[in-house]
Structure 1
Amino acid sequence: MAISTESRFFGLDLNQLKADILKTWRRAPQWPPLSWLRPAQTLRLVPAEGAPTVVWESGEPVLKPGREPVFWALELPEHMVLRKTVALPALDPQDCASAAELEVQAISPFAADDLLWGYTELSRSSKGVKLLVVLASRAQTEPYLQAQVAQQLHLQTLKGQSKAESLEQPEVWVFAPERRPVVFQGFGEQARYALGRKRLWWNVGGVALAVLLVAAIAATPTAQLRLRAIEAVHAYEGMAAKTTDVVAKREALIQSADKVGGLSELLAERIDGVKVLSMLTNVLPDDTALQSARIQGSKVTISGLTENASALMQKLSNQEGVKDVRAPSAATRMGGGNKESFTIELGLDAKVFGPKTVIEVEAAAKQDPAQPAATESAEGVPPVVPAPAPQGATPGAPVAAPAAAAPKASIGGGKPGPTLGGTKSGPSLGGSKPSSPPPATEPGGKKP
């Protein structure tokens, strides 16, 4: 089985691709944006006729040379040179060199070891390239070149300059139309080419270094911010590790505060049954008997017997903190009686009928510190507070004790006093005959 040596990948010749890339890279310094990377060099040109002058490597003279050029060139007389113009397709410069070499080998009248040649492009277009090929005989040109080198060495010695080593290898030029130099191959042009490549790489390195410095300068603030962010993260992690217990306690405190807040909201909507019963005790008239009272949230449903259910609803509506008074069913009068059976629903304001907190009680005590606290007697009965005498009453006349000074109301309680069932003696919300009131006392606390 034969082993293929072709370097192909999906039908693409990798060797040819590599060659094309190298050609493009070699032409890069000739592009206008990058031509400044390889600065032109100066040479001292010794023409076939006339005085030596300093010229650029393109052949144009230097108006104000700053220093003595490192390289120099000799111009061959026209009678020593053969010229030929060659038309080629639109080839790359490297391919043009190979085509010119083939053309020289085909048309040269000199032996291979006696041949000197060079070429230059006269014109280039999309259709083709026109080259100028020059040929010369080494045997004919060497005596002339040696004489010119000896003369230049003598001049350098007279001037006291020590550049003899560079003068020993001059370049050999012939000018094409429009003063375009044609360089013969095999003389001192390789040293100039090497120096040009060296300067090119130095310039490329300098540009790359400048780009890296600019990139570093541009990235420095971002890098500093990154480092600060990393440092801040490490500091935060260290602080978090040190404050784990504090953070846990804080979380527990926040949870407790949330629970307290939720409890406060529930308490704010809670209705105090004692206040509701106290309000009903004070509002319901004597002809009204309350059979049941049910508290559901801020809604109270009462039912019982009364002489005028409409008047009772109106009276309840006028109370502070009472709202939405309505009768879910019509009042009915019992047969042969003067009582109406009623069922009334009413809404209560939690701000008025809600339970008082410890803070509110302490605030009320601070606002009225002179009011003595009510204390029970040894028998467990609260002291009777004398009511103010009614208008028009004579001083010293007996005054009946108010109902508020009577024992606490209870629903079916065992102690005597006001009841909601009206079954025991004393004032009641059931409309029964009240018991005899306690003996009146004088304002001075004495019995009449």
Structure 2
Amino acid sequence: MALSTDSRFFGLDLNQLKADVFKTWQKAPQWPPLSWLRPEQALTLVPTQGDPSVVWESGAPAPVGKRSPEFWAVEIPEGMVLRKTLQLPALDPQDCASAAQLEVQAISPFPAADVLWGYAELSRSSQAVRLQLVLASRTQVEPYIQSKIAERQLTLAENAAPLSQPEVWVFAPQRQPIVIQGFGEGARAIAGRKKLMLNAAGVGVAGLLCAAIAITPTAQLRLRAIEAVHAYEGMAAKTTDVVGKREQLMQSADKVAGLSELLSERVDSVKVLSMLTKVLPDDTALQSARVQGNKVTLVGLTENSSTLMQKLSNEEGVKDVRAPSAATRLAGANRESFTIELTLDNKVFGPSLKAEEPPPAATPAQTSEAAAQPAAPSQEANATPVVPSAAPVPAQTPPVQSPPPANANQRKGPTLGGSKSGPSLGGSKPAQSQEERK
């Protein structure tokens, strides 16, 4: 199977594309925005008649600097050259050079090894290009160039370095230089490319510096953020125990808050019983009292249930007193059977969350006094009384116990029920004496 050497991709000639891109970049230094990257160079021009002068490479006069230009050119007489004007289509400069070379080969009266030629663009439009073509004989031009080099060397100091190869110029009618190829124009082209590269490198460095200046604040902020993150991580590592204890404390506080909320929704049964004992009259007997949250359901017997409901409604913290069913009175009975439901206010009947205060600590003086009091009887007990031997020792009499107070065993308070067999809410009963309990 034969390998294809056609460099086409989807009908596009890659070699031609590469050549076009290369030509475009070669013309880039000539663009107005980039022309300053390759500044025009100065030369010392030795004319056919007159003294040498400093000119730009475009042929325009240049001011004399503090030092002489590095390159120089020699103008050859008009009698040594042949001229021809060419009219070509609008070609690129590289294509124009190829067309001029083909024209020289076609019209040159000199041998191929003896011909010297050069060209310059006289004008350019979108449709055509006019070229000025110049031909000369090497055998005539080189002796003339050598004589100019010798004259130039004599004008310099004795210890001066030897002159480099000069360029050979011929001027067009518009005073535009035409460079004859094959002499010192290559050194100037190399120097121009070096300056172009140095200037481009300087522009690149300046661009990098501007980018660095623009990025520096952002980079500083990022570095500070990274440093802050590291510092935070270090502080978090050092305070791990404290943070754990704080979390435990917060969890405990949440639990206490939840417990307080649950307790606030309940009522204290002791307070409820105390209120019922105070409010219910003596003719009322409770059969059951059910507490569900802040709802209380009372079932019992009373002489007038409406009066009982009115008394309960007037009590502080009691609201929504109602009878889910009508009160009933059995035949021959003097009391009504009632069922009453009421709602209690948690602020009044809720459980008390205050902790009991500890007893006050004894002062040092009270402590010393209490310690000294039990020591007195022991000293009296240990002391031996001195009595006569004849006197009889009286027998020790037992201490007389004082009778208990009359009302020590008596207690009054609310009781459940009104019968003798058990307590009742709404009445009181004297407590039994100690002898009756025995």
Same-fold status (TM-score > 0.5): yes
Asked if 1:275 is matched to 2:271, the reply is yes
Aligned position for 1:389? none
CA distance 1:313–1:61, shift in 2 (3 Å): farther
Q: Which amino acid aligns with 2:357?
A: E
Q: List gaps (5 residues or longer) in structure 1.
A: 367-377, 385-404, 410-417, 440-448
Asked if 1:175 is matched to 2:165, the reply is no
Asked if 1:134 is matched to 2:130, the reply is no
Q: Which amino acid aligns with 1:219?
A: I
Q: Which runs of 4+ in 1 moved over 6 A?
A: 381-384
Measured after TM superposition, the shift of residue 192 of structure 1 is 0.6
2 CA distance for matches of 1:92 and 1:232? Answer: 61
> Which one of the candidate residues 155, 160, 163 is aligned to 1:162?
160
Q: What is the DSSP-based 3-state SS (H/G/I as helix, E as strand, rest coil) of the residue aligned with 1:61?
A: coil
1 CA distance for matches of 2:249 and 2:24? Answer: 74
2 CA distance for matches of 1:146 and 1:8? Answer: 52
CA distance 1:340–1:27, shift in 2 (3 Å): farther
Asked if 1:55 is matched to 2:92, the reply is no
1:369-411 residue CA offsets vs partner (Å, 9 max, x unmatched): xxxxxxxxx99x9998xxxxxxxxxxxxxxxxxxxx724x5xx
Q: Which amino acid aligns with 2:30?
A: Q
1:37-82 residue CA offsets vs partner (Å, 9 max, x unmatched): 1111101112233332211111111145343111111222333222
Q: How does 1:226-245 map to 2 (within 5 A)?
A: 226-245=222-241
Measured after TM superposition, the shift of residue 281 of structure 1 is 1.3
Asked if 1:261 is matched to 2:257, the reply is yes
2 CA distance for matches of 1:227 and 1:199? Answer: 39
Q: Which amino acid aligns with 1:406?
A: K
Do 1:287 and 1:429's aligned partners in 2 also have CA atoms closer than 8 Å? no
Do 1:90 and 1:127's aligned partners in 2 also have CA atoms closer than 8 Å? yes
Measured after TM superposition, the shift of residue 195 of structure 1 is 0.7
Identity, in percent, stands at 69
Aligned position for 1:34? 34
Q: What is the DSSP-based 3-state SS (H/G/I as helix, E as strand, rest coil) of the residue aligned with 1:113?
A: coil
1 CA distance for matches of 2:154 and 2:79? Answer: 26
Asked if 1:296 is matched to 2:292, the reply is yes
Measured after TM superposition, the shift of residue 190 of structure 1 is 0.6
Measured after TM superposition, the shift of residue 230 of structure 1 is 3.5
Q: Does 220-229 or 96-105 show the bigger shift?
A: 220-229
CA distance 1:46–1:406, shift in 2 (3 Å): same
Do 1:321 and 1:349's aligned partners in 2 also have CA atoms closer than 8 Å? yes
Q: Which amino acid aligns with 1:306?
A: T
Aligned position for 1:369? none
CA distance 1:178–1:265, shift in 2 (3 Å): farther
1 CA distance for matches of 2:217 and 2:126? Answer: 50
Asked if 1:100 is matched to 2:100, the reply is yes
Measured after TM superposition, the shift of residue 197 of structure 1 is 0.8
Q: List gaps (5 residues or longer) in structure 2.
A: 361-403, 433-438
Measured after TM superposition, the shift of residue 10 of structure 1 is 4.1
CA distance 1:104–1:319, shift in 2 (3 Å): farther
Asked if 1:406 is matched to 2:412, the reply is yes
Asked if 1:3 is matched to 2:3, the reply is yes
Q: What is the DSSP-based 3-state SS (H/G/I as helix, E as strand, rest coil) of the residue aligned with 1:164?
A: coil
TM-score, length basis structure 1: 0.77
Q: How does 1:377-416 map to 2 (within 5 A)?
A: 406-407=412-413, 409=414
Do 2:108 and 2:135's aligned partners in 1 also have CA atoms closer than 8 Å? yes
Aligned position for 2:338? 342
CA distance 1:327–1:198, shift in 2 (3 Å): same
Measured after TM superposition, the shift of residue 321 of structure 1 is 2.2
Asked if 1:327 is matched to 2:333, the reply is no
CA distance 1:438–1:89, shift in 2 (3 Å): same
Aligned position for 1:24? 24
> Which one of the candidate residues 169, 192, 215 is aligned to 2:211?
215
CA distance 1:129–1:284, shift in 2 (3 Å): farther
Aligned position for 1:315? 311
Q: What is the DSSP-based 3-state SS (H/G/I as helix, E as strand, rest coil) of the residue aligned with 2:283?
A: coil
Asked if 1:116 is matched to 2:92, the reply is no
CA distance 1:329–1:119, shift in 2 (3 Å): farther
2 CA distance for matches of 1:271 and 1:226? Answer: 60
Aligned position for 1:203? 199
2 CA distance for matches of 1:335 and 1:194? Answer: 138
Aligned position for 1:125? 125
1:171-195 residue CA offsets vs partner (Å, 9 max, x unmatched): 1112224322211111111111111
Aligned position for 1:362? 357
Q: How many residues align?
A: 388
Measured after TM superposition, the shift of residue 129 of structure 1 is 2.8
Aligned position for 2:435? none
CA distance 1:13–1:336, shift in 2 (3 Å): farther
1 CA distance for matches of 2:239 and 2:110? Answer: 97
TM-score, length basis structure 2: 0.78
Do 1:321 and 1:353's aligned partners in 2 also have CA atoms closer than 8 Å? yes
